[in-house]
Each structure stands twice: as structure tokens, then as C-alpha cells.
Amino acid sequence: VIRGHRGGPGKIDARLGRAERLLAEGSVAAAPLALLAAVLRHHQARSSDDVVRAAAARSASKVDGNLATDHFPLLELEHLAGVLADSMGVAVAALIAHGSDMVPEPLADAGREVQGWSAAEAQELAEVWLDDPSLVEPRLRFWAHVAGAPFLEAAAVGARLPPPDAWRGGACPLCGGQAQVSVIAEESGEFMGGSPRSLVCARCATWWNFPRAVCALCGEEDPRHLASYVAEGRRVVRVDACETCRGYVKTFDLREEGAAPIVPLVDDVATLTMDLWASEQGFERAVVSIAGV
């Protein structure tokens, strides 16, 4: 059993290993998992790059001060736009080099468009994505993520997080990114007696505490408007849906049977059939998984 924040900041190996095992087991989501594995291999290579490490360190330099003054997000994102813009072409080249069948054609087209951009155009995309990824067109968001996530994740490694009562937001306290999934920890009442539920950042992999019975998208607290759905009695993963905003978040319950090997950011991609089901019920997902474009 993996303890702690499975596949959290800096644990790219854990995510890649899980993706490879799911592929070897013959997952129904083979193509998206193969794309995710390619992205993770690129992220692994970038995480030891000097430019990435230096920019990440600058971006994390004021976390403690920002925490003391309740200044969120805690990272200094404006330091990253230039280096992220410079990295965009590298990211496209690295993924497309694996062969055109790895990257779906619409994404590859968008990647080639990015490669042809001026520095100013790349800088603008970087700034918007850092500020609010939901404002970026999905195909360009994919490439911004491939290029930008290594900076944010490297900055998140070892960064101090707010205590559970100081941050109850649905966005990442460190980088301001959106939650990709939600997780119920294997043991309740752990660290500082906080809520056993966490949200997991789609771009820096940080886990932060979030109340159990609240919609992570709109803050709805009325249980009459919140419902959970599981597939065929498999309680380890569920769709937490909200009638008020018609949104949903996928939640992994690590106390349930079959949870031992789960790495939430990866198993999210492997459980795409639940997203199809939720979408058929008219629920919308705010953050599609990296490979769900």
C-alpha cells in the first residue's frame, strides 16, 4: 500500500509506473493512457533540467511570506511566463517525436501551430494559462500543460501548504489551478485532524484539504442537491455530482476494496467510462483529464 499523497508533487515515477501497469493489464483506455505516459516521460526529463529547477525555485521563494499574509496562490506565477513560453516548442517536439499515432491529429495540429508562433504569442498563452487554465482553448491548454506543469510541480515539491482551516477553496492554494480529482484518504483523522478529503491539482499535483459534503465546483452544501454514483458496486471510484451547477468531480475512496494500487491522477484517465456515463446524465466536468481532450 502506498502511503501519503500518491503521485503527489515530485512523484512522477509513481504516476508513470501506474500508467505503464494499467497499459500492461490491457486497460480499455489504452490510447489516453499511452498519451499520458508520453507526457509523464517528458515531465520526468524536464524535472531535472536546470532552467526548470531555477525558475521553480524563484517561483516558490515567497511561499512562506504569502502564507503568513494569506496571499493566494502561494507561488509567484509571473516569474514563470517567459520560461514557459520558451518551453512550448520543446514540449511539442518531444511529444510529436514519439510518432504521430501517439498524439491525436487535432492535438498535433495545434502543436504545430504553437511551434510556428512568435515569442509574444507564446508568452500570451503562457500568461493566460498560468492565470486561469479554463480560459484557454482545450487543445492549446493541453500543450500549455505539457510545457508548464513541470515548472509548477517542481515549485510545489516541499512547499508549505496552508492548514486545513486557512484554505477551503476549490482551486489549488499553491498554483491556483483547478482540481482534477478528489480523494478520500485511507485513514481518517490523519494530519492535524483535518478533513480526510483532498482535492488534487490538475497541474502541480498538490493535494489540499476540502470539506467532504461540499460541491468542489460551486460550493453547494445542501445534501439534497448532491449525489454520488458508483459503477457496478465498485465503490473505490465514484462520480460526485451536483444538481445545482450540474458539474461533477470524480472521487477515489482509498478506504475501499481495490484501492491499494490506485494513483488518482492516473486512474482518472483509466476510468473514462465513468466520464462518458456522467456526461450522458447531463453532468459536466470542469477539468477534463490531460488525455481527455
Q: Where on the chain is the footprint of Zn ion (CB under 5 A)?
A: 172, 174-175, 177, 201, 204, 206, 215, 217-218, 220, 242, 244-245
Give 144 or 215: the residue with its C-beta nearer to Zn ion. 215
Q: How far is the CB of 201 from Zn ion (least distance, A)?
A: 3
CB 209 within 8 A of CB 196: no
Residue 67 to residues 202, 206, 252: CA-CA distances in angstroms? Answer: 21, 16, 29
Give 60 or 122: the residue with its C-beta nearer to Zn ion. 60
CB 182 within 8 A of CB 199: yes
Give 104 or 170: the residue with its C-beta nearer to Zn ion. 170
CB 256 within 8 A of CB 186: no
Residue 237 forms beta bridges with which residues? 252
Write phi, then psi, for 46 (nearest 5 degrees): -70, -30
Give 38 or 215: the residue with its C-beta nearer to Zn ion. 215
Give 73 or 292: the residue with its C-beta nearer to Zn ion. 73
Dihedral through CA 205, CA 208, CA 212, CA 214, nearest 10?
-90
Q: How far is the CB of 283 from Zn ion (least distance, A)?
A: 10
Give 7 or 111: the residue with its C-beta nearer to Zn ion. 7
CB 172 within 8 A of CB 201: yes
Q: How far is the CB of 96 from Zn ion (least distance, A)?
A: 26
Instruction: Measure CA of the first residue to CA of the last residue in the chain; give whole Å.
Output: 31
Cα(159)–Cα(130) distance, integer angstroms: 18
Q: How far is the CB of 146 from Zn ion (least distance, A)?
A: 16
Q: How far is the CB of 228 from Zn ion (least distance, A)?
A: 13
Angle, nearest 10°, between helix axes 30-47 and 138-156?
40
Q: How far is the CB of 176 from Zn ion (least distance, A)?
A: 7
Cα(129)–Cα(6) distance, integer angstroms: 25
